[in-house]
Amino acid sequence: MQDPGLNHRLQQRSRRSGFIIGLTMALTLLVCVGSFTVIYAQLEPVVSDFVSSSTDEAAPTEEPEVAEAAPTAPTDTGTDNAEQPQPTTEPTPEPTSEATAEPTPDDDEFVPDYQLDSIDSVNLRPGPGVNSGEAVVAVPIDAPLMYLGESEPTQDPGADGLDEGQVWMLFRTEDGEEGWIREIDVTEYTP
């Protein structure tokens, strides 16, 4: 014989237990998401040189210039050729035997001597350190860089010390942006 009161109490306890388990799972998920957010916020300055964030300004893409089509020579349509102008060719000047001097780069001329050695874009920083301010621009993979002759140790090794002992170098991009990149993120330029 079954007691109906006992069945009712067991069902109520079962519902309460399910509700408590569901509430516990929801709280656990909130703690995990909150912990991840705090950890990510602490690691963001360290990983920002490897991972570009959505706040970094993307380099504007330029549309390729379309070359104008060269005028074509008139075709023979079977009409009188006297009416059509004939193309004239000018003789090309012969090269002189004088040696030409190599052009020397001006201060404003971009001459790449380094490029990124990374699997992802790297942020160009306003100072020698990840905490030196907002990134100037995210430099794409294998982008040519011109070294400006300055290098310094990091100004802010951070609380975790991951950036301690790093050497930063001052570069200019093809777009004229200037900033600092860690020495370990670049290699010699290969065209």
What is the 8-class DSSP label of residue 2?
-
pLDDT, tens digit only, all 191 positions of the chain:
677 788 888 888 888 999 999 999 999 999 999 998 888 878 776 666 666 555 444 444 455 455 555 555 555 555 555 555 565 666 555 555 444 444 444 556 888 888 887 777 888 888 888 877 788 888 888 888 899 988 888 776 655 555 667 888 899 988 888 998 888 888 888 87
Q: Which residue's structure tokens are 């009712």?
A: 8
**Side-chain half-sphere exposure of 121, counting CA atoms within 13 A:** 17
- Largest Cα–Cα distance of the chain, in whole Å? 122
Tell me what pLDDT residue 72 has. Answer: 55
Return the H-helix or E-strand segment holding 182. strand 178-182
Q: Over the Cα atoms of the chain, what is R_g?
A: 33
> CA-to-CA distance for 162 and 184, rounded, in angstroms?
13
